[in-house]
Amino acid sequence: MANPTGWKPSVEKESGGAGGPARPGTGGAVRGLAYEEKLIFEHAGGDRSGVSLPAPTGAWDPAREIPAGLLRGEVEGLPSLAELDVVRHFTRLSVWNHGIDTGFYPLGSCTMKYNPKSSEALARLPGFAAAHPLLPAEMCQGSLELMYRLERALSEISGFAGTTIAPAAGAHGELCGLMMIRAYHVARGNARKKVLIPDTAHGTNPASAAFNGYRTVEVKSGPDGRLHPDAVRAVMDEDVAAIMITNPNTLGVFESDIAAIAEVVHAKGGLVYGDGANLNALLGVARPGDMGFDVMQFNLHKTFATPHGGGGPGSGPVAVKEALLPFLPLPVVVREGAAYRLVADPAERPRTVGRLREFHGNFGMMVRAWALIRELGPEGLRRSAELAVLNANYVRARLQDVYHLPYATDSLHEVVFTDKLQKAAGVSTMDVAKALIDEGFHPPTVYFPLVVAGALMIEPTETESKETLDAFVEGMRAIAARAAADPDALHAAPVKPVRARLDETRAARKPVLRWTPGMALE
Amino acid sequence: MNFPDDLQYTREHEWCRVKGGRAVVGITDHAQDALGDVVYLELPKVGDVLKKGETFGVVESTKAVSDLFAPVSGKVVEVNDPLVDAPETVNEDPYEEGWMIQVEMSDPKELKELLDPAAYRKFLEEEAE
């Protein structure tokens, strides 16, 4: 087969022929030894095998050992493949994937920064990686000390009195933070009923509030993309348990009225919850604890470069002010003289919200985050925030003449554009995102935040070099030019990847979730 | 874009058609266009009591998940159940086959707070700026 991946001839011309380089200034997407790959069940098996087990000896009879209902004499369609067949199958699939180690990954709000291999190496040290969570304290002092020091560092970086490092990820941290807020109000005699949430918030905020039995009240942001004290004052009353604010918010805009907003909320006895999803923009520059926040969750997998998503797990520590310390979940690590001890018994912390996670949380992520904090140090952390802001503003400055900027307000670590200038030619945000794949870049976050119609949300992070950003900008500008000249080509994009434009609508409306032998697929 | 004269509109992009004491409710042509392909719907049950301005369901497109807001208060007396299995109808025919619920209004005076087609068009123009 001359063209097993189904690429279209027009692309060959454009990219300079098979294996030729893509247009200069793109993300370097070229074609080479790329393979179509069948499902593993579709591989015609001879009777190869990847294992050689010894023949059973003695009088062992499966029928006597295993209940009849669990016993199968034959398995229909089980692939019969050699080890190399299986290795190639999964290796080929793996190169269809994209990750931060492959290329630029500007997913706004997700903070896809590079995960340094030094952090990985340290997390793999046998003393950490193989430590059993039930080890007695005297046999894992090193691990406990790391947890203690990380907790202290996070508290200091964010300006809070104490931190739990147990929650498993950001949304789990939100859950934990709101549980503590509820416990705080209950201890004062009234759990309260409502949580205020700006219209720029992540969807997890209202979900976490609802999960804790609170009704959410949306607060509109102003024309500058900021939340204003008057808007909060208008809905603030003594039924409000808390307001949840992300700072900088999901537009990448710093909430410069945060102190005044906190005052409005505190005056009526409410608490201020900080969603630390965008803390990476403030590291070493400003501390949420100093802005009036009472509780804040971190996302170690964003801010401190531990792996994301499928490479996770995440980790979502939650920092609190003095008044909320008694409610922190267990366990916590305390230092007693030169020794470290895990406090796990609620008798010792009677007002704790309890245990949120088995054992100590995602310990491997704690090691990685601590490694990064120590590697960068205070100056390096500050530098990472400054570079993240610089990179986003560089992309903003170089694209704002060809993509519409819905808010003129200064950007911090991410920038939101829209498809307003492309709309007239019938080109949407989704078309731009798909076309970026042909340019060799992972698309940015699209259609979020919800307050922006047709949002394209770009977060380069501090990781990327000027060369990468320039290539991305060239790609985005080329798409803007094509949107004007040949909009239909963009509706068909991407055409270069192994799987071209997928029908997302049909996949959502008529999902086919199970493959069966011989099934006909269009 | 089409905004029929016999309907009243909300700032959240629902429409409302009054038939006696009942209000038929759906989302506008602008709403379906802005959402893009609708792929999933969550509608209330007959008998549910709605309060004006509060959410009565969810509409999901390939772009986003959005709440549906009740244009009037009252009890749900009919639900367009077939819509749930054919969400594309919301895109294809938002004002007729794409209706979502019928509400027995508890306070028809609330209708006065809704927008007529001209006012809704004007609101859309302002919102676009």
Nearest chain A residue to B89 by CA distance is A509
Give yes or no for A511 touching B (CB within 8 A).
no
Residue B21 within a domain: yes
Across chain A, mean pLDDT equals 91
On whether the CB atoms of residues A199 and A451 are closer than 8 A, the answer is: yes
B39 CB neighbours in chain A (<8 A) are 505, 508-509
- Of A198, A189, A232, residue with least CA distance to A216: A198
**What percent of chain A shows pLDDT beyond 90?**
77
Give the residue extent of every domain in chain A. 118-374
Please give the residue that has the higher pLDDT: either A97 or A250: A250
In this prediction, residue A522 has a pLDDT band, given cuts at 50, 70 and 90, of low
Would you say the C-alpha torsion B39, A438, A277, A167 has a positive or negative sign?
A: positive
Of A447, A450, A505, the CB nearest to B39: A505
Give yes or no for A504 touching B (CB within 8 A).
yes
Q: Output the pLDDT for position B64.
A: 86
Q: Output the pLDDT for position A31.
A: 65
B63–A430 C-beta distance less than 8 A? yes
Residue B2 within a domain: no
- Of A455, A410, A449, A453, residue with least CA distance to A201: A449
Pairs of CB atoms within 8 A across A/B: 25
Strand B101-105 and strand B74-79: the pairing is antiparallel
- Of A188, A382, A405, residue with least CA distance to A286: A382
User: How far apart, in Å, are the Cα atoms of A287 and each of A202, A253, A279?
Assistant: 21, 16, 9
Please give the residue that has the higher pLDDT: either A20 or A306: A306
In this prediction, residue A45 has a pLDDT band, given cuts at 50, 70 and 90, of low
Residue B19 within a domain: yes
Of B34, B40, B64, the CB nearest to A508: B40
Across chain B, mean pLDDT equals 95
* Residue A517 pLDDT greater than 80, yes or no: no
In this prediction, residue A26 has a pLDDT band, given cuts at 50, 70 and 90, of low
Instruction: Write the DSSP assignment of A201-213 as a string of letters.
Output: S-THHHHHHHHTT
* Mean of pLDDT values over A204-220: 95
**What percent of chain B shows pLDDT beyond 90?**
89
Place of tokens 């409710």: B25
* Interacting residues of A508 by C-beta distance below 8 A, sequence separation 6+: B37, B39, B40, B60, B62
- The residue among A197, A204, A431, A509 with the most chain B CBs within 10 A of its CB, best to mutate, is A509
DSSP A250: T
Cα within 13 Å of Cα(A341), Cβ side = 9
Residue B114 within a domain: yes
A505–B62 C-beta distance less than 8 A? yes
Beta-bridge partner residues of B36? none
Residue B15 within a domain: yes
A448–B64 C-beta distance less than 8 A? yes
Distance between CA atoms of residues A158 and A160, nearest Å: 6
Distance between CA atoms of residues A111 and A107, nearest Å: 7
What are A299-328's pLDDT values in tens digits? 999 999 999 866 568 999 999 999 999 999
Q: At A161, list the tokens.
A: 């009195």
Burial status of residue A188 (CB atoms within 10 A of its CB: 0-12, 13-18, 19 or more): exposed
What are A258-308's pLDDT values in tens digits? 999 999 999 999 999 999 999 999 999 999 999 999 999 999 999 999 998
On whether the CB atoms of residues B62 and B68 are closer than 8 A, the answer is: no
Separation of CA A428 from chain center: 25
- Looking at the structure of chain B, the number of domains it has is 1
- Of B49, B17, B19, residue with least CA distance to B27: B17
* Mean of pLDDT values over A510-519: 85
Q: Output the pLDDT for position A248.
A: 97
- The residue among A218, A421, A432, A504 with the most chain B CBs within 10 A of its CB, best to mutate, is A504
Residue B24 within a domain: yes
On whether the CB atoms of residues A232 and A196 are closer than 8 A, the answer is: yes
Place of tokens 């202290």: A152
Burial status of residue A505 (CB atoms within 10 A of its CB: 0-12, 13-18, 19 or more): middle
Secondary structure element (H or E) that encloses residue A232, with its range: helix A229-235
What are A400-444's pLDDT values in tens digits? 999 999 999 999 999 999 999 999 999 999 999 999 999 999 999
Strand residue runs (E) in chain B: 8-9, 14-19, 22-27, 38-42, 49-50, 55-61, 65-69, 74-79, 101-105
Tell me chain A's radius of gyration from C-alpha atoms: 26
Residue B3 within a domain: no
pTM comes to 0.88
Place of tokens 């029929």: B4
Question: CATH number of the domain that B59 lies in?
Answer: 2.40.50.100
Nearest CA to CA, how far is B5 from chain A (Å)?
26
Nearest CA to CA, how far is B37 from chain A (Å)?
6
What are A331-381's pLDDT values in tens digits? 999 999 999 999 999 999 999 999 999 999 999 999 999 999 999 999 999
**What percent of chain A shows pLDDT beyond 70?**
93
The CATH architecture that domain A118-374 belongs to is 3-Layer(aba) Sandwich (3.40)
Of B40, B63, B87, the CB nearest to A447: B63
At B75, give phi and psi (nearest 5°).
-105, 140
Distance between CA atoms of residues A438 and A28, nearest Å: 10
Nearest CA to CA, how far is B78 from chain A (Å)?
24
Q: At B113, list the tokens.
A: 């707070």
A447–B37 C-beta distance less than 8 A? no
Can you tell me whether residue A355 is helix, strand or coil? Answer: strand
* Residue B125 pLDDT greater than 80, yes or no: yes
* Chain A residues 189-228 with a CB less than 8 Å from chain B: 203
Range of the domain at B78: 11-120
Please give the residue that has the higher pLDDT: either A517 or A23: A517
Edge to edge, the sheet with strand A295-297 lists A162-164, A318-320, A295-297, A271-275, A240-246, A194-198, A215-219
Give yes or no for B33 touching A (CB within 8 A).
no
